[in-house]
């Protein structure tokens, strides 16, 4: 398949060590031919704009004609931004701050090794600008990977905590897509099925990582969650989570999940019709049973439910609220201003 993109050189973008340790990187390089592959394996969690610039530099120097992103959301998001910027002048931070991507990027093949971000099927790349202490979202259709290779077997070695974190990220994607002001019927089908699969498979994948049926179910859920948000975007939960990942090294999916119960309560009066459909699909009687099911899931996955558990202090709440409002907050079905978010932060403190 790779040859369909021409005989040129390939840049393989991946995380710092996990993929090399597991031997997958080596296998891919051997398969493609070591002479045509350059490797950028310096992607950190919550990758910075600078990491993308370094990758683009290698890509240009090596005259790569194709990029392969391998790993979780961070390597995939970085690879997508590198592919886009390879043909667009300037630095990554300029595009995060609004510069327009004008030229089509290099073709990209995305190979996820976690079941969470859905990045392999979305037009987003989430990057940080460390000096600003913030995460930014690059959004553009040219960021869609040309090909996504979703092999659930690549996720079997994911440790339990990362399985829980990435799986709960999928739950946030599906719920946010479903209740977004941008909601639409096709995305709703994807989101509903993703939620159904999460309740069926996530706890099993967490407890028995090598259970293929559970990993297949979560890979499908992740892809569907990604397809759902690729149409609707996320809402208030994702921007609210970013300062927690940035300041407290709290995993992205867990940082989203900690807000799910509160936003579920706040949003439910505005989305009764959509939740009623979801209740029918999940064979649940009422919204209380769904809220209870979400809480049980978080408990079984040992996901933190209080901010103090991850080291947040009461004095941090005001600035977390200030920095937790982003572009997609406006898509929340119920208005969420800075003071509303601060109230939620106090509740879950």
Q: Return d(Cα 241, Cα 147) in angstroms, integer.
A: 29
> Which residues does 317 contact at the CB level (< 8 Å), separation at least 6?
307, 342, 345, 346, 349
**Of 169-177, 182-190, 263-271, 303-311, which part binds Fe ion (CB under 5 A)?**
169-177
Q: How far is the CB of 118 from Fe ion (least distance, A)?
A: 8
Instruction: Please report the sign of the dihedral spanned by the C-alpha atoms of residue 319, residue 183, residue 273, residue 291.
Output: negative
Contact 88, 103 (CB under 8 A): yes
Spatial separation of the C-alpha atoms in residues 29 and 46, rounded to whole Å: 25
Give the footprint of Fe ion on residues 84-103 (CB under 5 A): none
Count the Cβ atoms, other than its own, within 10 Å of residue 237.
Answer: 27
Q: Least Å distance between CB 173 and Fe ion?
A: 6
Considering only the stretches 27-35, 131-139, 164-172, 265-273, report the one whose residues sit in contact with Fe ion under the rule CB under 5 A.
164-172
With b for 16 or more beta-carbon neighbours within 10 A and e for fewer, the 141-162 pattern comes to ebbbbebbebebebbbebeeeb
Q: What is the DSSP letter of 44?
A: P
CB distance 25 to 39 below 8 Å = yes
120 binds Fe ion (CB under 5 A): no
Q: Are 128 and 53 in contact (CB under 8 A)?
A: no
Q: Which residue is nearest to Fe ion (CB)?
A: 169
Taking the least distance from each CB to Fe ion, the nearer of 177 and 262 is: 177
220 binding Fe ion? (CB under 5 A) = no
Binding range to Fe ion, per CB under 5 A, among 51-59, 156-164, 165-173, 328-336: 165-173
Of 77 and 169, CB closest to Fe ion: 169
* Minimum distance, C-beta of residue 31 to Fe ion, in the bound complex (Å): 30
- Strand 37-43 versus strand 147-148 pairing type: unpaired
Closest to Fe ion by CB, 48 or 74: 74
The region, left, alpha or beta by phi > 0 then psi within -120 to 50, assigned to residue 204 is alpha
Q: How many residues bind Fe ion (CB under 5 A)?
A: 1
What's the closest the beta carbon of residue 235 comes to Fe ion, in angstroms?
A: 11
Shortest CB 237 distance to Fe ion, Å: 9
Considering only the stretches 5-13, 161-169, 192-200, 264-272, report the one whose residues sit in contact with Fe ion under the rule CB under 5 A. 161-169
- Single out the segment in contact with Fe ion by CB under 5 A; choices: 163-171, 182-190, 192-200, 261-269: 163-171
Measured CA to CA, the distance from residue 252 to residue 256 in angstroms comes to: 6
Q: Which residues of 282-296 are buried (b: 16+ CB within 10 A; e: fewer)?
A: eebeebeebbeebee
Question: Closer CB to Fe ion, residue 64 or residue 241?
Answer: 241
CB of 125 to Fe ion, least distance (A): 12
Q: Measured between alpha carbons, how far is 215 from 153 in angstroms, rounded to an integer?
A: 7
169 touches Fe ion by CB under 5 A: yes
Selected range binding Fe ion among 8-16, 162-170, 270-278, 282-290, rule: CB under 5 A: 162-170
Tell the smallest beta-carbon distance from residue 336 to Fe ion (Å): 17
Smallest gap from Cβ 314 to Fe ion, in A, equals 27
In whole angstroms, the minimum distance from the beta carbon of 10 to Fe ion comes to 28
- Contact residues for Fe ion (CB under 5 A)? 169
């Amino acid at each position: 398949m790779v040859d369909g993109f021409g005989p040129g050189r390939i840049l393989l973008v991946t995380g710092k060590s996990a993929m090399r340790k597991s031997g997958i990187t080596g296998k891919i390089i051997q398969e493609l031919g070591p002479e045509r592959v350059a490797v950028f394996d310096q992607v950190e969690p919550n990758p910075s704009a600078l990491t993308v610039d370094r990758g683009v530099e290698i890509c240009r120097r090596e005259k790569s004609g194709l990029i392969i992103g391998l790993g979780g959301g961070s390597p995939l998001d970085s690879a997508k931004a590198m592919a886009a910027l390879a043909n667009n002048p300037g630095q990554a931070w300029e595009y995060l701050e609004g510069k327009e991507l004008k030229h089509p990027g290099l073709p990209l093949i995305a190979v996820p090794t976690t079941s969470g971000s859905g990045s392999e099927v979305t037009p987003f790349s989430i990057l940080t600008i460390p000096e600003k202490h913030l995460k930014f979202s690059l959004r553009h259709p040219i960021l869609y990977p040309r090909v996504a290779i979703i092999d659930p077997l690549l996720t079997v070695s994911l440790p339990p905590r990362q399985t829980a974190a990435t799986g709960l990220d999928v739950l946030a994607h599906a719920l946010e897509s479903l209740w977004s002001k941008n909601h639409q019927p096709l995305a709703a089908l994807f989101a509903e099925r993703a939620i159904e699969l999460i309740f069926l498979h996530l706890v099993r994948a967490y407890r028995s990582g090598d259970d293929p049926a559970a990993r297949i179910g979560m890979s499908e859920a992740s892809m569907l969650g990604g397809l759902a948000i690729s149409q609707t975007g996320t809402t208030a939960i994702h921007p609210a989570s970013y300062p927690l990942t940035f300041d407290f090294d709290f995993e992205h999916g867990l940082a989203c999940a900690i807000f799910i119960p509160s936003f579920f309560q706040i949003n439910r009066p505005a989305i009764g019709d959509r939740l009623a459909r979801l209740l029918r699909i999940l064979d649940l009687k009422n919204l209380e049973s769904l809220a209870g099911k979400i809480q049980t899931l978080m408990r079984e996955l040992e996901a933190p439910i209080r901010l103090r558990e991850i080291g947040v202090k009461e004095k941090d709440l005001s600035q977390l609220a200030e920095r937790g409002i982003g572009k997609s907050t406006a898509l929340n079905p119920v208005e969420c201003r800075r003071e509303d978010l601060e109230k939620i932060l106090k509740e879950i403190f």
